[in-house]
Amino acid sequence: MRRLIAIIERDLRKFLRNPLVMVVSIVMPIIYLLILGNSFLGELKHLPVAIIDRDGGSFAERVIENLEAIERGPSTIATYRVSSEGEAMRGLKEGLFKAVVIIPQGFSKHLVKRGSAEVGLFVDNTDVVSANTLKTALLSALGSTAEGFIAVRERAEGVRVRTIEVHPKIDYDQTLIPGVVIMAIFLGALTTGVFNIVMDRFLGTDESLLLTPLTRTDIVGGLVISGLVITTVLALVVLVLSSLISGIYLWNTLSPSGFVGVVFIVMLSTLSLQGLLFIILGRADHPRVVGVLGGFLNVILFFPSGAVYPVESFPYLLRLFAWVNPETYSVHALKAVLFKGAGLGAIKGDILFLSVFALFTIAVAIATFKREL
């Protein structure tokens, strides 16, 4: 019994000497509750919709008022008046809008004289959940538009919605591919780079590095670049396999420039996560810390990234976090290139953020790296 108690006491002492693991073990479930509880709210909110009114009549204004009522009430959509169709469609393809509603010229006149009229709805079908929600919202807005008048003709069909999907049909499982690739990038960045130096510290072999003329830049830079090579290859393999499983054949859908864009996004995403992980784990000395914090970071970075749920529907504080989350920009860029055929010009904002984030985090990682016992 005394020997058993000695083993128990030894293990408890080892755990108590690592307060970081203790704190994370308590805080992590609470963070999970906040992140997961607010990343899947059930009802979508604040989906941006552009409205173009080519009619200017009373019933066109009623359609807009009904849409604005949905915005003020259940807040499913956020409406934006746009004058130019080119601007609206460009915003739709670049992800600024989830849908574009076009009220054609003569809408009110046709509704009164013929008893029927059409409204155009262009939806970004790369986000299947948002597209279906927006169709339902527009139909509810049009439900009471024709009330309050008597048509010239005896039979009235009311207002019809002509839905146009601006991209080739995409199934829900296919929309998850960018998120799967980003998860592969995170796992690759976690198991290379800084993890190697943590293992060296744990095994005591890092002392050999201290006897060499290697600088902090040499050590951090070398580990980041080696991790970049490995993670990029792994992420591209995951991309190919996941696309084959879900039925997307990249050699038919991706142009050579699109493939280059995907590789560029993967590399920038890898560098961003490598730098971030080096800052957080650069002073860790036990692989247990990497395991605990790795799972924690995976959840708080992945779910608020927009990979499985629209960022616009997050609560305000979670949206603020999504704006500084590098995975948000990686997911957005990959969706634009893979599903919309966008060029580098359409994702220049994502590229700029990831480039700045990567440079900043790697510079901080080098400056804070401990090259001593």
Which residue pairs from 81-86 have beta carbons closer than 8 angstroms and sit at least 24 positions apart in sequence? 81/50, 81/51, 81/53, 82/50, 82/51, 82/52, 83/52, 84/52, 85/52
- Residue owning tokens 């690739």: 181
- Could you tell me the two tokens for 97? 């809008």
Instruction: Read off the pTM.
Output: 0.75
- Cβ(231)–Cβ(188) below 8 Å: yes
- Could you tell me the two tokens for 69? 């009522």
- Residue owning tokens 């510290």: 201
- Residue owning tokens 């690592």: 18
CA distance 333 to 347: 6
Inter-CA distances, 203 with 198, 211, 235, 284, 319, Å? 9, 16, 29, 13, 41
pLDDT of residue 149: 43
Q: Which residues does 281 contact at the CB level (< 8 Å), separation at least 6?
A: 194, 195, 198, 289, 290, 293
Closest CA to 129 of 300, 307, 248, 253: 307
- For the domain made up of 47-165, the CATH class stated in words is alpha beta
- Cβ(361)–Cβ(278) below 8 Å: yes
Domain chopping of the chain, boundaries? 47-165, 172-368
- Could you tell me the two tokens for 213? 């003329």
pLDDT of residue 47: 87
Closest CA to 347 of 277, 268, 270: 268
Buried b (16+ CB within 10 A) or exposed e, 245-264: ebebeeeeebeeebeebbeb
CA distance 307 to 182: 9
Mean pLDDT in consecutive groups of 10 residues from the start of the chain, 373 residues? 70 65 61 58 78 87 86 86 86 84 86 77 80 79 56 50 71 82 90 84 73 80 89 90 82 80 93 92 82 83 84 81 92 88 82 95 88 61
Buried b (16+ CB within 10 A) or exposed e, 82-120: beeeeebbebbbbbebbbbbbbbeebbebbbeebbbebb
